Structure 1
Amino acid sequence: MSMDMLSTDQLYHKFLECTGVSTDTRRITSDCLFVALKGASFDGNQFARQALEAGARYALVDDPAIADSDARCLLVADSLTALQDLARHHRQTLTFPVIGLTGSNGKTTTKELIAAVLSKKYRTYATVGNLNNHIGVPLTLLALNEQHEIAVIEMGANHQKEIELLCSIAQPTHGLITNVGKAHLEGFGGIEGVRKGKGELYDYLAQHGRTVFINSRDKTLMAMYRERLKSLRSETVFAETIFYPAVDASSQPVELLQESPVVVYRDPEGREVTTHLPGRYNFDNMTAALAIGDYFGISPEESNRAVADYNPTNNRSQVITKGTNTVLLDAYNANPSSMAAAIRQFAATPASRKAVILGDMYELGNESEAEHAALGKLIAESKFDLVILAGKDMHYALEFLPKAYYFPDKFSLHNWLMDHPMTDTYILVKGSRGMSLETVVPFI
């Protein structure tokens, strides 16, 4: 083939011939576009031929030697940049609303709840799993087509300027930040860095005159919103600002009624709604979904039904029955903010016997020792019947927990659980994704 590199416009015409996009040779579908990405320990260019043999229509590569070996290889200067530019180009052809959301905690659950509510009226597409980074967001956008009527795009970040990049690709028409907490402190450079990084979504929405949804009960988000109004002064900012939970003269706000074992709330019309999700932190996620549903014309009855029916199966806030035990599995992610919220919530939940199985919180950098020690103090104050800690940094929590069981690795934890079966116990299992604490559930 010619060694000329394709422009974004030329690449887009090739993309339109394809049935989808894949960056993984294990997930090749007939006539898809394979994008050869590079990582610290792999070079996707080396798998281009394998992808083509598996049924890909084209392979996007940035190695001239690979491109020269097969006419179906499309040469670009950098495959990742080309993927992002392709997604940005495709986004500009879409005319329906695109809702962008980010935050330290609750992104995926809120995304799923919003999608469930909007699906009652619209053909809705939402980020699959946690494809929420500089690769996942482009892949999500490229999965959208004229059959969709609205999209919900989750945007994750572990350093400043990442949300800014993702906004430039996704170009959200509406957006919200779930909260700002102590997540990815190492990458963001502390809590102020987190606040600035997440706030890049507000910046984009304000600068482009788009609509923002803001949790009026969150003091940090309200302060960030006011800061943007002040910094932009008289310039046109957000097209609309929707505060939730909304209160008007004719109704009451959405009200949290009870949290054991799952959230029960009363809507503005007085209807009681029982959900499958535990915790006040999930109540805030629900009110976001209800507010967005109301904004887009979903009836309260339909919105309530969607929230009530949502049952997570992704290691996030799952309530699992194991014999006479009830397990609250929240093992997809953990940081100081989400861990503290989960522990306080769990401590306030009535149960005759309560146990916690907690794993390391990752990406805290120099703050790891102090944050794990602070967590130990909070656990001690909560007076659980049984405390089990796992991971190398959890030993910092032991200063306040002399009676806790500590395991530096999961193998020894699994063995201990098998030798010490629990009964009639309410158990919180939570840790960072890298701990994979969902693996303890079969041993409970």
Structure 2
Amino acid sequence: MKIDASLLKSIAKGSRLKEDRRGFSGVSTDTRQRMENGLFVPLKGERFDGHRFIEQAIEAGATGALWKEQEPVPEQLPETFQLYYVEDTLKALQALAQAYREKVNPFVIGITGSNGKTTTKDIVASVLAGTAAVHKTKGNLNNHIGVPLTLLAMPEDCTYAVVEMGMNHAGEISTLTQIAKPNAAIITSIGDAHIEHLGSREGIAAAKMEIADGLIKESWLLFDGDEPLLSPYNEQAETTVGFSDQAATKISDVKTLENGYVFYLNGARWQLTMLGKHNVKNAAYAILLAQKLGFSNAMIQKQLSSLAITGMRHVVTVGKKGRWIYEAQLDKKDSRISLVHADTVVEAAEILKPYYTKDTVVLIKASRGLALEEVLPAVKGGN
């Protein structure tokens, strides 16, 4: 990946070094990460200001930065350090990501949903990786900062980019999809998370449907055909997917194996080595998308059979201190463990709900003050 000067000049009002033609090897907002020959983006919030950490960014290897034009430039800044002046560093980060997405021009798949979006992202990326260079969202970089950083981390030869999109409020998915400009989009499910901000599950469905706002070219939209709240949007879908007769593309004859399932979809038999029947639907999204892209059924099945997800442990951390565990585990880069962070017990229950069966084992570890035991009655619907 290389972010060249021409892209930066297209989104900046000016620069500190006028004739500089350098490029940057990457983009980072975190001075705790090494960024050799990187571009630092100092974000500003209510309680922090990344501009105050420019020296740490230089120590981490940054050779340039976006810079809010009203901010004073530190006197001790090296003469060769480049600054690109912008009105708002967050908006500039998003604009830069959009410009880089257009330059690389991959086929972008946007994925959202109350549950299953991370797993679906992994399955889609694994299936498409059979024939081409694939880039996908890492960790939970799925918000207004994470999506731009995901796009800016794409290799220049990227063929497919699988971009996860999360949200708390109405309008957020619309912003993300306008940045990523997906060629195809998947809505995995509609749950209850963030209902306090959206008023109802109908409001959540409408917010998830915002992913269609940024669709370009092929404009393929796939979503859950078993979800009544999405049925008013059926005409916008390339196809709907589910187990019921209401779905345009029906998953049928699902049989349980020791380590997964066999099922039929589009007249073909498929085998998935993942537990949890909901993952059959997640795999179905990937199968249908790959078929539309021209992948053979044999290639798709080969990639499904090699998924490195079997036997994984689905880890959910909760609360402020739980995020420390989440971030520490991320640093270990253990591909056998799927990590998700929830801010509240209610959100954790919503995340766990699709995984719960009478045979599910859930290990709970927390102080009594967090009342994490409440997650199980919530998952089981109070029974």
TM-score w.r.t. the length of structure 1 is: 0.65
Q: Work out whether 1:225 is the aligned partner of 2:234.
A: yes
Q: Give the letter aligned to residue 339 of structure 1.
A: L
Q: Work out whether 1:340 is the aligned partner of 2:363.
A: no
Residue 115 (structure 1) aligned to one of 114, 119, 125: 125
Tell me the SS of whatever aligns to 1:287: helix
**Cα RMSD (Å) of the superposition?**
3.8
Task: Give the share of equivalent positions with the same residue, in percent.
Answer: 31
Q: Work out whether 1:289 is the aligned partner of 2:286.
A: yes
Deviations along 1:98-125, whole A, 9 cap, x unmatched? Answer: 1111110011110010000000011111
Residue 219 (structure 2) aligned to one of 202, 210, 216: 210
CA distance in 2, matches of 1:245, 1:190: 23
Residue 256 (structure 1) aligned to one of 235, 254, 257: 254
CA distance in 2, matches of 1:69, 1:92: 36
CA contact (8 A) 2:110 2:162 kept: yes
Q: Give the letter aligned to residue 225 of structure 2.
A: S
Tell me the SS of whatever aligns to 2:90: helix
Q: How many residues in Structure 1 have an aligned counterpart in Structure 2?
A: 336
Deviation at 1:35, TM superposition (A): 0.8
Q: Give the letter aligned to residue 34 of structure 1.
A: F
Residue 184 (structure 2) aligned to one of 174, 178, 182: 174
CA distance in 1, matches of 2:119, 2:192: 18
Relative to structure 1, is the Cα distance of residues 10 and 329 closer, same or farther in structure 2, using a 3 angstrom cutoff? closer
2:110 alignment counterpart: 100
CA contact (8 A) 1:80 1:135 kept: yes
CA distance in 2, matches of 1:49, 1:391: 38
CA contact (8 A) 2:139 2:339 kept: no
CA distance in 1, matches of 2:37, 2:209: 39
Relative to structure 1, is the Cα distance of residues 11 and 179 closer, same or farther in structure 2, using a 3 angstrom cutoff? farther
Tell me the SS of whatever aligns to 1:133: coil
Deviation at 1:297, TM superposition (A): 1.9
Deviation at 1:43, TM superposition (A): 1.9
Q: Give the letter aligned to residue 294 of structure 2.
A: G
Tell me the SS of whatever aligns to 2:40: strand
CA distance in 2, matches of 1:259, 1:193: 37
Tell me the SS of whatever aligns to 1:289: helix
Relative to structure 1, is the Cα distance of residues 331 and 123 closer, same or farther in structure 2, using a 3 angstrom cutoff? closer
Q: Work out whether 1:17 is the aligned partner of 2:23.
A: yes
Tell me the SS of whatever aligns to 1:120: coil
Q: Work out whether 1:34 is the aligned partner of 2:29.
A: no
Deviation at 1:214, TM superposition (A): 2.9
CA distance in 2, matches of 1:398, 1:120: 41
How is 1:122-161 mapped onto 2 (pairs within 5 angstroms)? Answer: 122-161=132-171
Deviation at 1:258, TM superposition (A): 0.8
How is 1:190-209 mapped onto 2 (pairs within 5 angstroms)? Answer: 190-205=200-215
TM-score w.r.t. the length of structure 2 is: 0.75
Deviation at 1:89, TM superposition (A): 2.0
Q: Work out whether 1:391 is the aligned partner of 2:370.
A: yes
CA distance in 2, matches of 1:310, 1:281: 16
Q: Work out whether 1:64 is the aligned partner of 2:61.
A: no
CA distance in 2, matches of 1:131, 1:14: 31
Q: Can you give the 5+ residue segments of structure 2 that lack an aligned partner in the other structure?
A: 1-7, 317-336
Relative to structure 1, is the Cα distance of residues 274 and 134 closer, same or farther in structure 2, using a 3 angstrom cutoff? closer
How is 1:397-408 mapped onto 2 (pairs within 5 angstroms)? Answer: none
Relative to structure 1, is the Cα distance of residues 189 and 11 closer, same or farther in structure 2, using a 3 angstrom cutoff? farther
CA contact (8 A) 2:13 2:86 kept: no
Deviation at 1:67, TM superposition (A): 5.5
CA distance in 2, matches of 1:106, 1:132: 13
CA contact (8 A) 1:28 1:34 kept: no
Which stretch of structure 1 is more off in the superposition, 178-187 or 54-63?
Answer: 54-63
Q: Give the letter aligned to residue 342 of structure 1.
A: Y
